[in-house]
């Protein structure tokens, strides 16, 4: 499979390998798999009931009888050979084999959590060849043996060794500074340069995701695709700004954030353990805020003199001052740089007392205020705050922003007004910080991942929806001191999302926003549980699979599927979705679903779908039964089953459009009733005429008789005259 | 003593809410009789001058057109279709005797002679009888013709209704 063909990956259209079923014992496992409770223990000869037999298609892979799952057409992930030493926070590792080159070993990351993967990185990573970055070999969606659910599986090259730190609180011998430079800094610098060139934020640089074989071999950086950015990275390795965020709301991140993580990693390796171990995330944040990242992370540890410079440069809290990859390369090439001094945050000349603590910095005040449930009159004295900002901090700009924040945000329902005003106040006090709202903190580009995480964790989308509906992203953009092109893009995007939220018809609302903001989000329709659907053709195949199940829902398109379809298939008109929302008219809903699915089938060129056709026909038949025309009804009921058997929704749609239009039927029925009434009226008139025929015929008959007699008399008279004349 | 007023004639009281209709004006009883008198006077106006100048012809027509006179009297219809039917043929029945009178010298003796011949009576009254026959026979034929035609039309309409009911079900007849 060409690595660049992500669409092929996602569509899962690769044909299964011809030798997929001969993997039993083809390559002996290199070691006995470690016993892991509940994982990878399915015996090779005991696949789930649904998979018994030879092989079946499941998304982009095939389950073979040996207990292995093929990914793409080339790799085989072996379910009974787990590799826990390579597990990632949101993916379990299993041994994988390259079917074309059996000696080349690989690992398969099976992502069973249902979280969206960072699939947008795949095209770049598949093309990237860097020995210090674990090579992505393939991706596919396969039905995993253990639970029978479709699961995304990433296949990577086998790492050269074990993790440097097996767990976050693991301890190792401290690295020597020369080993650190040769084995860590140098290769990671190359990796970060390549990633920057491809605009890729790795987001998972830490000692538990670095692999080394030992000796002086360079480290290899591991996976970054298996989980949303920010979720797979411990808080310690996050910048101060990202640490303040809820893990899912940390956003896409930048190359500077990766460099910061590298700086913390270097300190960890020099210490032989994670810095600040034993402290909670909140304590680490507090320490970083109080002492700066360098002071907090290094603490009283004596760094090698040569490494003070890069580590200080990498751990600068101000992103603009932080070392770049170029700075690191220059340092590696021997040029010694002096990092900028860490800027201490602006402090007021006098503190503001709030919630039992004195606050000297607006950011600290914002963090404290975010703990409040909402902005009430007694939350904080706004005149005091204004006086503190103008006189204590001497910053009229912040004071003006705070005034604007408190005055604005009036729109919306009252229950959310207090939360929104508090969030606006926090943004105004700490513009570079996250959006803090009802106990959640997120960067503006982290709202998407936060929304998906809230869905997946079962909390519901209420908070992200309120953030978007309350216009907080736009307010955040408006208070930024520097504006970039990203800001304008985000402003447009969230304005559009707010419009989508306001509409209640299927295909809009929070479900649509979820899929618009998260292109890698699988469809989360409740009745598609067990499927991992990323594209519309997969959706059609999944609907085909569940069509004949007893527990299949009544309608094939719910709000999630509607939102998913409209976000993934922009050619579809929202008008086509309106009919699906007609709760009072099941036939209109069925016709709407038929319209949408027909468009999808034609566009995706999915093979015939007889099951889905039968499903649609089941929904349409009650409507056909209500057709007034008996002959048309009988003909349609007969023909529609024939068309369903073809598996082409287009045929059913054409049949319905030609003959089964309810409007046409109603119009013709009204005409027929009018015609029937005309006949009835005529019959009544004729019956009356029949009853009165004697009276009518007497006058008419006598008239006719007089006429006939007169004509006869005239004729006779003429004969008599002629006869007498002769 | 004051004169006692005559009680008003009893009338059925009008139903409540309905306007009181004035009593129907009695039809003038003399109208029909007047019409007959007018017809007879018209005949006399024709026959009077005729008798003055051609008495034999007038006598012949007065006697020969008796069936027409009878038809005129018995026909209650304003249009006098019976009189027309009978009269036209009755007139033809008188014409052979009249031609014979006019060509035979036009005298009262000849008139009496003609009226004494049964064949002339047969011609005059037979023609009148034929007129009566036509007058009586045609209306039933017309009624029968109307009945056949109407029944055929009703059958066609019912057939069309059955076809509609077959196509659209019994609902199509709702409200008809």
What is A432-463 written as a DSSP string? Answer: TS-EEETTEEE-GGGHHHHHHHHHHTTS-SHH
Q: Does B170 touch chain A (CB under 8 A)?
A: no
Cα–Cα distance, A182 to A601 (Å, whole number): 55
Q: Is the pLDDT score of B92 beyond 90?
A: yes
| Cβ–Cβ below 8 Å for A631 and B174 | no
Lookup result for tokens 């064949």: B119
What is A600-621 written as a DSSP string? Answer: HHHHHTPPP-HHHHHHHHHHHH
Q: Does A35 touch chain B (CB under 8 A)?
A: no
Helix axes B66-74, B81-103, angle to 10 degrees: 170
| Cβ–Cβ below 8 Å for A717 and B95 | yes
Q: Is the pLDDT score of B37 beyond 50?
A: yes
- β-partners of residue A143 are A150
| Cβ–Cβ below 8 Å for A713 and B175 | no
Identify whether A672 is part of a domain: no
Residue in B with minimal Cα distance to A696: B143
Q: What is the mean pLDDT of residues B39-43?
A: 76
Task: Count contacts between A and B (CB, < 8 Å).
Answer: 145
Q: Give whole-number Cα distances, A395 to A171, A354, A429, A597, in Å.
A: 46, 19, 11, 58
CB of A207 within 8 A of CB of A165? yes
Candidates A563, A625, A551; CA nearest to A596 is A563
Range of A394-408, A647-661, B26-40, B155-169 with top mean pLDDT:
B155-169
Cα–Cα distance, A510 to A498 (Å, whole number): 9
Q: Does A633 touch chain B (CB under 8 A)?
A: no
Residue B41 confidence class, pLDDT cut points 50, 70, 90: confident
The number of domains in chain A is: 5
Identify whether A207 is part of a domain: yes
**How long, in residues, is chain A?**
726
- A643, A722: one domain: no
| Cβ–Cβ below 8 Å for A693 and B147 | yes
Chain B partners within 8 Å of A628 (Cβ): 168-169, 171-172
What is chain B written as a DSSP string? Answer: -PPPPPPPPP-PPPPTTSPPPPPPPPPPTHHHHHHHHHHHHHHHHHHHHHHHH-HHHHHHHHHHTHHHHHHHHH--STT-HHHHHHHHHHHHHHHHHHHHHHHTT--HHHHHHHHT-HHHHHHHHHHHHHHHHHHHHHHHHHHHHHHHHHHHHHHHHHHHHHHHHHHH-GGGGTT-
Identify whether B153 is part of a domain: no
HSE at residue A512, side-chain half, CA atoms within 13 A, is 25
Lookup result for tokens 């945050």: A345
pLDDT in tens, A622-640: 888 888 888 888 888 889 9
- A433, A531: one domain: no
At residue B56, φ and ψ (nearest 5 deg) are -60, -40
CATH number at residue A126: 3.30.200.20
Q: Between A417 and B148, name the one with better pLDDT.
A: B148
Identify whether B117 is part of a domain: yes
Q: Please report the pLDDT score of residue A415 as a whole number.
A: 66
Residue in A with minimal Cα distance to B169: A630
For residues A417, A422, A424, A429, the Cα torsion angle rounded to the nearest 10 degrees is 170
Cα–Cα distance, A615 to A602 (Å, whole number): 18
- β-partners of residue A75 are A71, A98
User: Mutate which of A702, A704, A725 to disrupt the B interface (most B C-beta within 10 Å)?
Assistant: A702
For residues A651, A653, A655, A656, the Cα torsion angle rounded to the nearest 10 degrees is 160
Which B residues 36-55 touch A at CB under 8 Å? none
| Cβ–Cβ below 8 Å for A672 and B164 | yes
- A584, A720: one domain: no
CB of A420 within 8 A of CB of A472? yes
Identify whether B29 is part of a domain: no
Secondary structure string (H, E, C) spanning A384-414: HHHHHHHHHCCCHHHHHHHHHHHHCCCCCCH
Q: Look at phi and psi of residue A509 and say left if phi exceeds 0, alpha if psi is from -120 to 50, else beta.
A: left
Chain B partners within 8 Å of A713 (Cβ): 88-89, 91-92
| Cβ–Cβ below 8 Å for B85 and A702 | yes
Identify whether A343 is part of a domain: no
Q: Please report the pLDDT score of residue A32 as a whole number.
A: 29
Q: Is the pLDDT score of B107 beyond 80?
A: yes
Chain A partners within 8 Å of B174 (Cβ): 673
- A24, A150: one domain: yes
* The two structure tokens encoding residue A611: 């099951």
The residues near A628 (Cβ < 8 Å, ≥ 6 apart) are A665, A666, A668, A669, A672, B168, B169, B171, B172
Chain A partners within 8 Å of B141 (Cβ): 701
Q: Is the pLDDT score of A15 beyond 70?
A: no
Identify whether B67 is part of a domain: yes
Identify whether B163 is part of a domain: no
Q: Please report the pLDDT score of residue B35 as a whole number.
A: 66
Helix (H) or strand (E) holding A347: none
Q: Is the pLDDT score of A1 beyond 50?
A: no
What is A85-114 written as a DSSP string? Answer: GG-BTTBEEEEEEESSSTTSEEEEEE--S-
Identify whether A414 is part of a domain: yes
**How long, in residues, is chain B?**
176
pLDDT in tens, B57-84: 989 998 999 999 899 889 888 888 999 9
**Surface-to-core class of residue A688, CB atoms within 10 Å of its CB (0-12 exposed, 13-18 middle, 19+ buried):** exposed
Identify whether B3 is part of a domain: no
**Domain, as residue range, for B40:** 35-135
Q: Which range among A135-139, A270-274, A388-392, B46-50 shows the weakest confidence by mean pLDDT?
A: B46-50
Helix (H, G, I), strand (E, B) or coil at A228: coil
Cα–Cα distance, A242 to A203 (Å, whole number): 11
Q: Please report the pLDDT score of residue A430 as a whole number.
A: 92
Q: Please report the pLDDT score of residue B77 as a whole number.
A: 81
Identify whether A58 is part of a domain: yes
Chain B partners within 8 Å of A700 (Cβ): 139, 142
Q: What is the mean pLDDT of residues A235-247?
A: 93
Range of A114-118, A410-414, B91-95 with top mean pLDDT:
B91-95
Helix axes A536-546, A559-568, angle to 10 degrees: 150
Q: Please report the pLDDT score of residue A646 as a whole number.
A: 92
CB of A476 within 8 A of CB of A435? yes
Candidates A336, A337, A340; CA nearest to A321 is A340
| Cβ–Cβ below 8 Å for A679 and B171 | no
Identify whether B141 is part of a domain: no
Q: Is the pLDDT score of A7 beyond 60?
A: no
Q: Please report the pLDDT score of residue B10 as a whole number.
A: 41
Chain A partners within 8 Å of B81 (Cβ): 702-703, 705-706
**Domain, as residue range, for A382:** 352-502
Residue A4 confidence class, pLDDT cut points 50, 70, 90: very low
* The two structure tokens encoding residue A557: 């398109």
- A218, A307: one domain: yes
- A457, A539: one domain: no
How far does the CA of residue A418 sit from the closest CA of chain B (Å)?
A: 60
- A201, A310: one domain: yes
Q: Between A459 and A658, name the one with better pLDDT.
A: A459
Q: Between A63 and A467, name the one with better pLDDT.
A: A467
User: Mutate which of B130, B170, B172 to disrupt the A interface (most A C-beta within 10 Å)?
Assistant: B172
* The two structure tokens encoding residue B79: 């249009």
How far does the CA of residue B141 sit from the closest CA of chain A (Å)?
A: 8
Lookup result for tokens 């795949």: A122
| Cβ–Cβ below 8 Å for A710 and B161 | no
Identify whether A449 is part of a domain: yes
Chain B partners within 8 Å of A714 (Cβ): 88
Q: Please report the pLDDT score of residue A11 as a whole number.
A: 44
| Cβ–Cβ below 8 Å for A701 and B140 | yes
| Cβ–Cβ below 8 Å for A701 and B138 | yes
Identify whether A383 is part of a domain: yes
| Cβ–Cβ below 8 Å for A717 and B137 | no
- Last residue in a domain, options A642, A660, A678: A660
Q: What is the mean pLDDT of residues B46-51?
A: 78
Chain B partners within 8 Å of A716 (Cβ): 89, 92, 127
Q: Does B99 touch chain A (CB under 8 A)?
A: yes
The number of domains in chain B is: 1
Residue in A with minimal Cα distance to B86: A709
Identify whether B161 is part of a domain: no
Candidates A1, A2, A3, A225; CA nearest to A123 is A3
| Cβ–Cβ below 8 Å for A673 and B174 | yes
How far does the CA of residue B68 sit from the closest CA of chain A (Å)?
A: 13
Q: Does A695 touch chain B (CB under 8 A)?
A: no
Residue A483 confidence class, pLDDT cut points 50, 70, 90: confident
What is the average pLDDT score of chain A?
A: 85
How far does the CA of residue A724 sit from the closest CA of chain B (Å)?
A: 7
With vertex at residue A248, the alpha carbon angle to CA A474 and CA A524, rounded to the nearest 5 degrees, is 95
- A488, A535: one domain: no
Q: Does A720 touch chain B (CB under 8 A)?
A: yes
Residue B126 confidence class, pLDDT cut points 50, 70, 90: very high
Helix (H) or strand (E) holding A690: helix A662-691
- A537, A487: one domain: no
Q: Between A412 and A351, name the one with better pLDDT.
A: A351
Q: Which range among A13-27, A194-208, A470-484, A569-583 shows the weakest confidence by mean pLDDT?
A: A13-27
Q: Indicate the residue of A690, A700, A708 with minimum beta-carbon distance to B147.
A: A690
Q: Please report the pLDDT score of residue B32 as a whole number.
A: 52
Q: Indicate the residue of B77, B95, B161 with minimum beta-carbon distance to A680.
A: B161
| Cβ–Cβ below 8 Å for A631 and B84 | no
Q: How far apart are the first and last CA of chain A?
A: 124
Identify whether A683 is part of a domain: no
**Surface-to-core class of residue B126, CB atoms within 10 Å of its CB (0-12 exposed, 13-18 middle, 19+ buried):** middle
Q: Please report the pLDDT score of residue A229 as a whole number.
A: 85
């Amino acid at each position: 499979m060409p690595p660049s063909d992500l669409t092929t990956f996602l569509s899962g259209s690769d044909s299964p390998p011809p030798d997929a079923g001969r993997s039993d014992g083809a390559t002996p496992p290199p070691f006995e798999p470690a016993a892991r409770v509940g994982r990878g223990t399915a015996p090779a000869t005991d696949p789930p009931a649904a998979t018994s037999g030879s092989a079946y298609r499941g998304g982009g892979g095939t389950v073979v009888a040996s207990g292995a799952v093929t990914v793409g057409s080339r790799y085989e992930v072996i379910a009974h050979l787990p590799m826990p030493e390579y597990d990632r926070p949101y993916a379990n590792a299993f041994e994988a084999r390259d079917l074309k080159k059996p000696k080349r070993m690989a690992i398969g990351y099976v992502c069973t959590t249902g979280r969206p993967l960072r699939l947008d990185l795949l095209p770049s990573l598949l093309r990237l060849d860097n020995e210090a970055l674990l090579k992505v070999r393939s991706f596919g969606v396969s039905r995993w043996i253990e639970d029978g659910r479709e699961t995304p599986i990433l296949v990577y090259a086998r790492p050269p060794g074990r993790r440097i730190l097996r767990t976050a609180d693991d301890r190792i011998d401290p690295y020597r500074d020369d080993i650190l430079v040769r084995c860590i800094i140098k290769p990671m610098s190359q990796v970060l340069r390549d990633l920057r060139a491809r605009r890729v934020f790795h987001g998972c640089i830490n000692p538990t995701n670095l692999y080394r074989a030992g000796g002086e071999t360079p480290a290899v950086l591991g996976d970054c695709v298996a989980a949303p950015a920010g979720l797979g990275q411990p808080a310690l390795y996050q910048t101060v700004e990202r640490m303040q965020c809820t893990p899912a709301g940390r956003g896409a991140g930048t190359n500077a954030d990766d460099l910061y993580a590298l700086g913390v990693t270097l300190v960890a390796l020099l210490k032989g353990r994670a810095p600040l171990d034993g402290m909670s995330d909140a304590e680490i944040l507090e320490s970083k805020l109080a002492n700066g990242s360098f002071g907090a992370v290094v603490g009283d540890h004596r760094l090698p003199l040569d490494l003070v410079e890069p580590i200080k440069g990498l751990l600068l809290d101000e992103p603009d001052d932080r070392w770049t990859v170029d700075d690191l390369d220059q340092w590696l090439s021997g040029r010694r740089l002096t990092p900028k001094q860490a800027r201490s945050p602006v402090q007021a000349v006098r503190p503001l007392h709030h919630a039992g603590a004195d606050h000297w910095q607006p950011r600290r005040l914002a963090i404290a205020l975010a703990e409040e449930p909402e902005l009430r009159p007694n939350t904080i004295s706004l005149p005091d705050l204004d006086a503190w900002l103008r006189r204590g901090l001497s910053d009229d700009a912040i004071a003006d922003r705070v005034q604007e924040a408190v005055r604005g945000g009036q729109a919306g329902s009252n229950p959310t007004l207090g939360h929104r005003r508090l969030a606006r106040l926090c943004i105004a006090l700490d513009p570079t910080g996250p959006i803090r709202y009802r106990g959640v903190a997120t960067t503006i580009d982290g709202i998407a991942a936060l929304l998906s995480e809230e869905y997946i964790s079962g909390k519901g989308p209420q908070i992200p929806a309120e953030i978007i509906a309350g216009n907080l992203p736009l307010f955040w953009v408006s208070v930024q001191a520097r504006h970039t092109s990203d800001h304008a893009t985000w402003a447009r995007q969230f304005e559009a999302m707010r419009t989508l939220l306001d509409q209640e018809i299927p295909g809009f609302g929070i479900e649509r926003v979820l899929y618009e903001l998260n292109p890698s989000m699988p469809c989360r329709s409740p009745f598609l549980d067990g499927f991992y659907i990323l594209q519309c053709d997969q959706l059609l195949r999944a609907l085909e699979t569940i069509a004949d199940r007893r527990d299949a829902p009544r309608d094939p398109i719910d709000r999630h599927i509607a939102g998913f379809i409209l976000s993934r298939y922009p050619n579809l008109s929202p008008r086509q979705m309106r009919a699906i929302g007609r709760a009072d008219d099941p036939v209109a809903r069925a016709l709407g679903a038929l319209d949408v699915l027909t468009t999808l089938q034609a566009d995706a060129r999915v093979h015939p779908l007889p099951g889905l056709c039968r499903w649609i026909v089941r929904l349409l038949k009650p409507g056909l039964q209500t057709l007034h025309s008996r002959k048309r009804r009988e003909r349609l009921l007969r023909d529609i089953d024939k068309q369903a058997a073809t598996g082409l929704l287009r045929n059913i749609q054409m049949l319905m459009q030609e003959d089964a239009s309810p409007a046409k039927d109603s119009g013709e029925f009204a005409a027929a009733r009018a015609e029937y009434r005309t006949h009835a009226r005529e019959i009544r008139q004729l019956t009356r005429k029949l009853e009165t025929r004697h009276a009518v015929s007497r006058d008419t008959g006598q008239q006719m008789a007089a006429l006939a007699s007169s004509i006869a008399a005239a004729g006779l008279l003429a004969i008599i005259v002629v006869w007498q004349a002769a | 003593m004051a004169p006692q007023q005559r009680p008003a004639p009893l009338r059925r009281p009008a139903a409540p809410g309905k306007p009181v209709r004035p009593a129907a004006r009695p039809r003038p009883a003399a109208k029909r009789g007047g019409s007959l008198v007018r017809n007879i006077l018209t005949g006399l106006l024709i026959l009077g001058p005729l008798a003055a100048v051609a008495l034999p012809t007038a006598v012949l027509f007065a006697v020969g057109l008796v069936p027409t006179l009878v038809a005129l009297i018995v026909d209650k219809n304003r249009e006098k279709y019976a009189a027309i039917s009978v009269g036209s043929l009755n007139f033809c029945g008188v014409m052979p005797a009249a031609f014979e009178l006019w060509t035979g010298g036009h005298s009262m003796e000849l008139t009496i002679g003609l009226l004494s011949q049964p064949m002339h009576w047969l011609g005059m009254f037979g023609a009148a009888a034929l007129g009566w026959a036509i007058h009586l026979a045609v209306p039933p034929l017309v009624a029968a013709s109307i009945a056949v035609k109407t029944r055929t039309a009703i059958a066609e309409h019912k057939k069309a209704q059955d076809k509609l009911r077959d196509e659209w079900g019994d609902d199509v007849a709702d409200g008809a």
